[in-house]
Structure 1
Amino acid sequence: MTVGNCGVETVYERPPERAVTLNQHVTEIMLALGLENSMVGTGYLDDEIPPAYREAYDGIEVIADEYPSYETLLAAEPDFVYGGFASTFEEGRGRDALAGAGIDSYLSLEACAEPPVTVDLMDREIRTVAEVFGVPRRAEKLLGELHGTLDGVRDAVAGVEAAEVFVYDSGDKTAFTAGGGGIGNEIIELAGGANVFAGLGKPFGDVSFEQVAARAPDAIVVYDYGDRSVADKKRFLLSHPALQDVPAIRNERFAVLPLSSTVLGVRVPEAVDSLARQLHPDRFR
């Protein structure tokens, strides 16, 4: 089969047998498809692997805590490298360099997609990976389960008044937030919200705290990852002088999502369900 992926065309004569995954969301796609026996290495988690995939994950060698060097990657002798972000294929790990070593590569479609990124792209990502590995039926079974979750949320929040939502990822001088170009925006909309920075045509971007205040969000979604705790992020926002008149701050209305569930992977429906329950708890009693 021939696959066009983010400007790179690859012809697969047979399914890969020695895959390396870099970034959590693509690792979880492989595990959800039951492809752990086709994996020889992995790297770069943002948080814990879900319990359903933990046993399979524990049987795979972690070749680096974050991104491996090119030499470390080659030492795993992969025939396929699956990356979650464009940064996977930087610093000597370029796709051309891998191809020159006889290694195929694939980049998550969110990294190169024209906005907006929707659930349809999640379906395409899962189906394409399953086809490359010769297990298309597994993709359909998995997607049936994922869309079952989404259908349940859609029914629960039908007709609800959308909450005006600001996403706080990080930042002190400016706020790094979710724009309208990534799956994070779709997650908000499917959960019964409206992203106040949907007009930012990128998956993520920096805005001023004065811009946040001007949009007066009803709720703030905090992305949970890294060394800075959710509690610390909340304290920072609650004490920020520019935000004191923002309804979400006055009412201390926060929701929390792990970062790994807000990128294109199998956790997207779970993120929609979790956010909907936090924004509209009365619809789930």
Structure 2
Amino acid sequence: MALVLTTLAQPAIAATTYPLTVENCGVKETFTQAPQRVVTVGQHETELLLALGLEKKISATSVWFGPLPDALTARGKGIKKLADNAPSFEAVTAQNPDLVLAQYHWHIGPQGETGTREQFASLGISTWISPADCIGKSVTDSSNADGARSTPFSIAEIEREISELAAIFDVQAQGKALNAALKQRIAKAQTLAATQQTRPLKVVFWFSSSRLKGDPWVAGDYGAPGWISNTLGLKNIIDSHDEWPAVTWEHIAQAQPDVIVIAEMSRRLYPADDVAVKKAFLNDDPVTRNIPAVKKGHIIVVPAMSLNPSLRNVDAVEAIGEKLATYQVER
């Protein structure tokens, strides 16, 4: 009876009233109904719709770093994939979408690699760019550039996107539940990290490199890995507002990181996209093999998607936090 009363006492979540106008990355979009046919240009947007239970709305997807997480695999089975990387404007419009969701502004922004928002609007197609790629960032950066942030990324930007898309698709209850689940998981990971650490461990996040022996792309402290570090009480050794600056291994070695987090991805544009290649380099190179993290084997592998602003940032917090717990006796 108490459970029944508690349920009855909760206020009902109001349905969306259409037309609904939402401002997204400086552009106002008006929806007269919940979108029915969506093309996603970015894995984060695909996973967000799946997490909201909107898989039947996805006509096609594109831009992938790797497989779906286990929790979303069943929902994402059979969804049409246009391309692993950026699809063409023609390929997207051929799906007859009423909405195109993009993870990065360089795909459908002012210099869109796939097309501009104006081009889609001329065909009556609404567009959406993840707010995490606009808030605190310039949206006029040249195409295909990660750019710099003027304000640090926060998971609040992902929570905001969840709420806004839940309203657009009229699934507010699912959005509220998803945000609540993320908060609970973050709090649990923070508690675990706080009980294990005796001092702030120094960390570096290695995404990839254009040349294996060249300067690696590592995470600055204003992007998603900066939020991950702060959430777990770690100290990112790269002091930069750029999301993925190229930094010399000599500079990294001098900072003596305790932990190295490396990105795992299916993409193979560069040799360092491969985790095995990354690990072999770290252990063989005369500069990197003496880094404390390498000598102690404190190398943590996480999916590349979890190091870019997305739902997966919480996955990274959990995975890194759990791994850090096993280092307790060595601190």
| The two structures share one fold, judged by TM-score above 0.5 | yes
* Higher deviation after alignment, 254-263 or 3-12: 3-12
The residue number in structure 2 matching 1:152 is 188
Given that 2:218 and 2:244 are in contact with CA atoms closer than 8 Å, whether structure 1 keeps it comes out as yes
Residue aligning to 2:251: 211
> Could you say which residue in structure 1 is the equivalent of 2:200?
162
The count of corresponding residues between Structure 1 and Structure 2 is 282
Tell me, what secondary structure is at the counterpart of 2:245? Answer: strand
Cα deviation code 1:27-83 (max 9, x no counterpart): 000000011122211112211112322232124222233222111111000010001
Matched, 1:119 2:155: yes
Q: Residue 221 of structure 2 is aligned with which of 180, 183, 187?
A: 180
Q: How far apart are the structure 2 equivalents of 1:113 and 1:120?
A: 11
1:235 aligned onto 2:318: no
Identify which of 120, 127, 135 aligns with 2:171: 135
Residue 249 of structure 1: CA displacement?
2.4
Q: Per the alignment, in what secondary structure is the counterpart of residue 191 of structure 2?
A: helix
What does 1:17-28 align with in structure 2 at a 5 Å threshold? 17-28=36-47
Larger Rg: 2
Mapped to 2, the partners of 1:78 and 1:12 lie a distance apart of 13
Query: Is the CA contact 1:181–1:204 (under 8 Å) kept in the aligned structure 2?
Result: no
Identify the match of residue 124 of structure 2 among 102, 109, 127: 102
Percent sequence identity over aligned pairs: 29
Does structure 2 retain, via aligned residues, the 8 Å contact 1:109–1:125?
yes
Q: Determine if the alignment matches structure 1 residue 6 to structure 2 residue 25.
A: yes
CA distance in 2, matches of 1:270, 1:75: 34
Q: Does 1:252 align with 2:271?
A: no
- After superposition, the C-alpha distances for 1:144-172 in whole angstroms (9 at most, x for unaligned) are 11111111111112262221001111123
In structure 1, stretches of 5+ residues that fail to align are none
In 2, Cα distance between equivalents of 1:237 and 1:245: 9
Moved more, 204-213 or 23-32: 204-213
The C-alpha deviation readout for 1:108-138, integer Å capped at 9, x for no partner, is 1221221201111121111111111111111
* Cα distance in 2 for residues equivalent to 1:231 and 1:61: 30
Aligned position for 1:83 = 102
User: Is contact 1:23–1:84 with CA below 8 Å preserved after alignment?
Assistant: yes
Give the TM-score taking structure 1 as reference length. Answer: 0.93
Aligned match of 2:314:
269
The secondary structure found in structure 1 opposite 2:153 is coil
Which residue number corresponds to residue 194 of structure 1? Answer: 235
Per-residue displacement from partner, 1:193-250 (whole Å, max 9, x unpaired)? 21111x2102211111121122111111111112332121011122223334421122
Using the size of structure 2 for normalisation, the TM-score is: 0.81
Cα distance in 1 for residues equivalent to 2:314 and 2:155: 9
Give yes or no for contact 1:18–1:40 (8 Å, CA) kept in 2.
yes
Three-state SS of the structure 1 residue aligned to 2:165 is helix
The 3 A distance-change label for structure 1 pair 17 and 52 is: same
Unaligned 5+ segments in structure 2 are 1-19, 137-150
**Alpha-carbon distance between aligned partners in 2 of 1:143 and 1:91, rounded to the nearest angstrom:** 31
Is the alpha carbon distance of 1:72 and 1:163 closer, same or farther for their aligned partners in structure 2, counting shifts above 3 Å?
same
Provide the secondary structure at the position in 2 that maps to 1:221: strand
How far apart are the structure 1 equivalents of 2:52 and 2:254?
A: 44
73-82 or 3-12, which deviates more: 3-12
Whether contact under 8 Å (2:107, 2:114) holds in the other structure is no
Bigger relative contact order, structure 1 or 2 (CA pairs below 8 A, ≥6 apart): 1
Q: Secondary structure at the match of 1:158?
A: helix
